[in-house]
Amino acid sequence: MAQYSAVLDGMFVAFADPTRRAVIQRLGRGPASVGDLAKDAPMTLPSFMKHVRVLESNGLIRTAKSGRVRTCELNRERFALVEDWLAEQRRIWSDRTDRLEKFVTNPEEKK
């Protein structure tokens, strides 16, 4: 469980930065070179590469180098961890709100 939590923590840290979210959003349309991804970022290429490394180290993207070009693509399977966690949170909160609704709408059960 602690390892699962550490993996999710790293993923949410990666999601916390707007530059990394923009990279993920762009890669949702398909693979792209680091140069193409960095064009829209308001920073130097070495600074941008730090963001790429965070995404890659947390398993959200994969990179491959061919000659001088490094291409990035989403690791879509990794997003299943976040989807599973969010689904569990949704279920927990739905159950809680269902119980609250019963409590509020059934005054005879309050006694």
pLDDT given at position 50: 96
Given a cut of 60, whether residue 2 has pLDDT beyond it is: no
Range of the domain at 49: 2-110
CATH (domain of 37): 1.10.10.10
pLDDT given at position 103: 66
Given a cut of 60, whether residue 78 has pLDDT beyond it is: yes
* Distance separating alpha carbons of residues 83 and 45, to the nearest angstrom: 31
Q: How many domains does the chain have?
A: 1
Given a cut of 70, whether residue 96 has pLDDT beyond it is: no
The mean pLDDT of 59-70, rounded to a whole number, is: 93
The mean pLDDT of 44-69, rounded to a whole number, is: 94
pLDDT given at position 87: 86
